[in-house]
Structure 1
Amino acid sequence: MKAQIAIVALATLLAPTHAALRQCAGTGSDLRYEPSGFLTSEFTQAACSAAGGSIDGSRKGNQKCCNVPDAREVTFNNNCGGQSDKRYPGFTPLAQPC
């Protein structure tokens, strides 16, 4: 019985966790990125932290992405949509795949 429990526990730990690369893009009314990449980077970082994801360190600026577990994608999307930056009034956040 103890061996079965240990096997099940080990299998659970080794089971793959599905995740997707997402970003919270800072976009204008024309759906183009804010040119400097600052907004996408900041919005993605904040949404990623809220969703318990991890930032892909090889991407910067408008290419910044977060590895978000599937179970936390709604949290990422909701946090993304709730952000703003008063310095960039013409730009809004848009959650999307990388």
Structure 2
Amino acid sequence: MPSFKRIVKMTFRPEEIDNFLEVFRQSSAHIRAFPGCLHLELWRGKRQENVLFTFSKWESEEALENYRHSDLFRNTWAKTKPLFAEKAAAWSVDTLAELIE
């Protein structure tokens, strides 16, 4: 079954990273349990520790949009956005090749 993938890059003020990690800890299980969410990861930049990424897989673009219009997203984003050092960037991507061991 094809899935819809989303990558969000977030650059935080260094002093706010722990606050974001707490927001993520509190909300990640709820996001993962949201209808249509198939997978959720949090990544950190190797050389820029204040740059974090979320990688998520969704059943469809519609499932992601349902999440983005939910109270869960609004509440999580309201806690996250004030912690940014710069505006977040997001990409929706398609898999062209997947090589698995």
TM range, normalised to the smaller chain? 0.3 to 0.5
Q: Which has the larger strand fraction?
A: 2
Q: TM (normalized to structure 1)?
A: 0.43
Larger Rg: 1
Q: For CA contacts below 8 A with separation 6 or more, give which structure has more relative contact order.
A: 2
